Amino acid sequence: MPYPTYFNLNKEKQERIMQAAIEEMGMHTYEHINLASIIRNSKIPRGSFYQYFKDKDDLYDYFYQYIGLKKYEFYGELFLPDMDIPFLDRFYQIYVKGFYFAKTYPELMKAGQKMITSEHYIKSEMFKKGMNQAIELYSKFIEFDQEKGIIKKEINSKFLASFLLEFMSKVTLDEFMKDTIDFNEIDRMVKQLVDILKKGIE
């Protein structure tokens, strides 16, 4: 997390630093991020940067939280447990909302694209923590449907949650590795998965 001195800055300066970080992270994976470029484009003295962040890792971790907060605000009630909607419909809507998020924040999407293709990120504790939190959240949604009789009670909620998140990660990563992201193709695959889960294959 940044030092308190970062949060004491006015919003314009905080956003300027984050914008410079987003631009740099949109061009390079973690291994090749140049702090000097971020500091220069932020228009702050080098010494000031180390009053706000401990090091590159600290900034990188904060960016992960920053993009997560932006997504949480953008997705709205889709992550709220009291929203009365079947889990598979919620799952599909979350994915569709992700398309709109990517189109609304193309710079964040580029930086996120570089992030998920970085070996550092894939092996990091923040990735594991984020995935575990997502599994817990999805599991609760699944269990709500099990209580309502929508999803079979014998299905392990964490297994289903993990399966769907792994599928989302695989599809997203495969598409993000391409020069041009085909949102229609991603939408088709997610719809097909939801249809299979609802109807079965036999």
Q: What are the structural domains of the chain?
A: 4-199 (1.10.357.10)
CA 69 to chain CA centroid, nearest Å:
9
Task: State yes or no: pLDDT of 19 exceeds 90.
Answer: yes
Please indicate whether residue 169 or residue 59 has the higher confidence score (pLDDT).
Answer: 59
Q: Is the pLDDT of residue 172 over 70?
A: no
Torsion of CA 148, 154, 158, 161, to 10 degrees: -60
Residues 6+ away with beta carbon under 8 Å from 122: 116
pLDDT digits (tens, 9 = 90+) for 99-152: 788 888 888 888 887 887 778 877 888 888 888 989 999 999 999 999 999 999
Quote the pTM value. Answer: 0.78
What is the rounded CA–CA span in Å between residue 141 and residue 163?
14
User: Which of 175, 181, 48, 170 shows the shortest CA–CA distance to 106?
Assistant: 181
Residue whose token pair is 């449907």: 145
pLDDT band for position 176 (cuts 50, 70, 90): low
- Structure confidence by residue, pLDDT tens digits, 21-69: 999 999 988 888 999 999 999 999 989 999 999 999 899 889 888 888 8
